[in-house]
Amino acid sequence: MPELPEVETICKRLAPVLIGKTIQNIEVLREKSLQGLSTSIIGKKIVEVSRKAKLLDIKLSDSSHLLIHLKMTGQLIYQDQLQRLGGGHPTADWVDSLPSKHTRVIFRLSNHSTLFFNDMRVFGWIKHLSEEGASVEFSRYGPDIIDPAVTLEYIFSRFSKTSRPIKVVIMDSSIIAGVGNIYANDALNLAKIHPNKPANSLTQNETKELLDAMIEVINLGIKHGGATIGNFRNIDGFSGNYQTKVLVYQRENLACFNCAGIIKKTKIGGRGTFYCPNCQV
DNA sequence: AATTATGTTGCGGT
DNA sequence: AACCGCAACATAAT
């Protein structure tokens, strides 16, 4: 499901309700979904919840980390007693029937609260890692697109080293992290750049337009609580809203908002790609 | 009913 | 080494 805005949306809501709680039990309904649990996490307290790239990072009181990657269809749904008594944040109706057939791991937490990890396609994972193990995992990623470390100089230099299509390069998480298919499509449309253009053919000006556009659409995604195209849900089970703001993603044969050209669909790097042949050159 | 597509990324092969 | 294509899996749409 998620790109950076979707994981950030979950992180912001999860942090305040998880921090300070103790893990009282863990139920693993699908072994593949939970890896590396060599030491017990029962009784450990959650001290920190953050996000890096598309990874959610839950730090425990013994300095170990639970890293969660939702991949295509992962969800984290939180329930507590306050909600069940009707006094908390409202939740979507379907969360009352959890666990569902797609629930893979259940964390039972203190204060009668529960965190469900649902993942239809089972690509996602939770890994229990040491501080060093978590660092290794993070080191696979370049800086987040909204990190000030992503300067024009940095991406222009990285773009200049490859002739792969620009869309493939901005989705390469070892170069910049957090730009997935929805936002890559939209950023290229906003910057009026053809997704197939070789990365090393972009001028410095075009690169700046693209950088600004990526930051803009990612921030817009965060502002609207992520995009629910398929499985993405916030921790209360409700959808995001960015899908109503998309520029080109899944808008084949509709009019481009820049120029009223007709949006076409093609495939680049094996991924569905939407662009306006009129203004994206 | 079979084929194709899906928000991610890691792998094996060139 | 860079790059490409596909596999991991379940489901919905055509």
A108, two tokens: 């039972």
- Averaged pLDDT, A212-239: 97
- Averaged pLDDT, A7-25: 98
Report which of A138, A143, A280, A262 is spatially closest to residue A213, judged by C-alpha positions.
A280
pTM of the model: 0.97
A189, two tokens: 């449309």
Q: Is residue A191 within 8 Å of A206, Cβ to Cβ? A: yes
The pLDDT assigned to A1 comes to: 63
The total of other beta-carbon atoms located within 10 Å of residue A186's CB is: 27
pLDDT band at residue A86 using 50, 70 and 90 as cut-offs = confident
pLDDT band at residue A35 using 50, 70 and 90 as cut-offs = very high
Footprint of strand C on the protein (CB under 7 A): A 32, 71, 101-102, 120-123, 162-164, 168, 269-270
Distance A272 CA to B2 C1' (A): 21
For residue A84, pLDDT over 80 is answered with no
For residue A58, pLDDT over 80 is answered with yes
For residue A94, pLDDT over 90 is answered with yes
The pLDDT assigned to A52 comes to: 97
DSSP one-letter code for A256: P
pLDDT band at residue A85 using 50, 70 and 90 as cut-offs = confident
For residue A234, pLDDT over 80 is answered with yes
Could you tell me the domains of chain A? 4-138 (3.20.190.10), 152-275 (1.10.8.50)
Distance A140 CA to B10 C1' (A): 11
The pLDDT assigned to A81 comes to: 86
Per-residue CA distances from A238 to A9, A93, A205 (Å): 12, 9, 39
Q: Is residue A30 within 8 Å of A105, Cβ to Cβ? A: yes
A223, two tokens: 């502002």
For chain A, the average pLDDT equals 97
